[in-house]
Amino acid sequence: MSARSCVFRNFILRAATLFTAILILGTAVRSEPVLGEKEAKLGQEAAAQIAKEHKLSDNAADLKTVREIGERIAAVANSKEVPALYGSSKVTPFQYQFNIIEEPDVNAFSVPGGYIYVYRGLLDFVQSEHELAGVIAHEIVHAAHHHMVYLLEKQASLNNQIAIALLASIMSGARASDVGNIVLGAQLYQIARLNGYGMQAERDADYGAIIYMRDAGYNPVGLLTFLERLAKRPEMVDWGIYRSHPLDAQRVAAAKKVIQDLGIPIKRRETTRAIKAEVKVDTVDGKEIPGVYIAGTLIYRPAATESKTSADIAKETADAINHVLDSNVQMYEIKTDPSGYGVLVRDKPLLVVSDADAKLMGKTPQEVSKTAADAIRAVVWKQIVDTVH
Ligand SMILES: [Zn+2]
């Protein structure tokens, strides 16, 4: 069933039971935004409705993951004022609650007062806790910046009926029922677009999420890699998070710019499962020696030098390789050093293989260099294949 039909079917079915809630909000819509207590009450009623209409997860491990991340971010949202590009930045502490809906959509939504829902499909799609934190932080901003109340206020000034329909669909727990999605449901979408709601609220949620993530100790690049990967999958766009979170290249670019402006390095391998160079310690002849691995293949085992330990060199090498892999490198730019003692990238040394290093691996420096260059090129090739559609 499409989200659209869901919204209106639910509206009809639920209209009666929603009457009280609509009255609460109806009052608010006509005066000033309901913040704090009333929002929480509204949220509570929506949450009760959502619990009736969706199967909420009782998977203890997954709930623990989601709640730990959520609470870390909520602690920031409840104490720090982040300027709102849309809505209000007034800090109104909520008792945030996090739940998982056992449905395959790649989606998440929030209702007023800090009730946040993530779908099973989203948990399967994210590639790191940072990506999950990005989505949860985005939803927390929708609540913390009172987006829904602001939306309703604006819509009401146009047409109170629309506000009521909107609220009803929210309260009925329509799929992907965060505000943006409901707005996408019908003509509401057009009206909201005229008001510029969708994009502004989404931008604000992305911006706030990046700040919250940074302050909560998550890597904000997680939000970026999540958006980038989803944007590459049009089949997700049809039914997934982009119903509620309209995505276009502009939004991805805006998130990227915020991250860059904050001086946060964009290292996508830290927030995704993209193949990366990793250091593993092996026992060789009774000694523990670190090696640099790519996709399970040992490519380099550094011998200690006068100034550095093997572990330090291995870590530096892995970091340098990952940096190159994140830099849009092309296959032809990766070469073995003509001397045979290492790998060059864009004519600069990425890896220098000494005789001592090669000996540790029982190979010649030329062999080690070639294996390493081949392995790095293979990752680049895979990246190219994966991103072309
Ligand atoms: Zn959103």
What is the domain count for the chain? Answer: 2
344 and 377 together in one domain: yes
Cα 189 to averaged position of ligand 1 atoms, centre (Å)? 14
Residues 321 and 261 in one domain: no
**Distance from Cα 181 to the centre of ligand 1, integer Å:** 8
Distance 241 CA to ligand 1 centre (A): 8
Do 252 and 304 lie in one domain? The reply is no
Ligand 1 centre from 367 Cα, in Å? 51
- The model's pLDDT over 287-302, given as tens digits with 9 standing for 90+, comes to 888 999 998 899 999 9
Among 269, 301, 326, the domain boundary falls at 269
Of the three residues 200, 235, 269, the one that is the final residue of a domain is 269
Q: Could you tell me if 124 and 210 lie in one domain?
A: yes
The Å distance, Cα 139 to ligand 1 centre, comes to: 6
Angstrom distance (rounded) from CA 13 to CA 188: 19
In a shared domain, residues 127 and 9: yes
- In the reported structure, the alpha carbon of residue 260 is separated from the centroid of ligand 1 by a whole-number distance in angstroms of 21
**Domain ends where: 241, 269, 297?**
269
Distance (angstroms) between ligand 1 centre and the Cα of 22 equals 23
Residue 1, pLDDT above cutoff 50: no
Is the domain of 283 the same as that of 157?
no
| CA 389 to ligand 1 centroid distance, Å | 26
213 and 293 together in one domain: no
Name residues with Cβ closer than 5 Å to ligand 1, which is an ion: 205, 245
Q: How far is CA 255 from the centre of its chain?
A: 11
C-alpha 138 to ligand 1 mean position (Å): 6
Model confidence over 240-270: pLDDT tens digits? 344 444 556 788 899 999 999 999 999 999 9
DSSP-based three-state secondary structure for 217: coil
| Of residues 190, 202, 206, 121, the one with CA closest to residue 155 | 190
Q: Which domain holds residue 364?
A: 277-387
Distance 117 CA to ligand 1 centre (A): 12
What is the rounded radius of gyration, in angstroms, for the C-alpha atoms of the chain? Answer: 25
Pair 235, 321 in one domain: no
183, 321: one domain: no
CA 228 vs CA 105, 123, 223, 234, 250: distances in Å: 17, 16, 9, 12, 11
359: tokens are 């000996």
Confidence (pLDDT) at 343: 96
pLDDT tens profile 60-114:
999 999 999 999 999 999 999 999 998 889 899 999 999 999 999 888 888 888 9
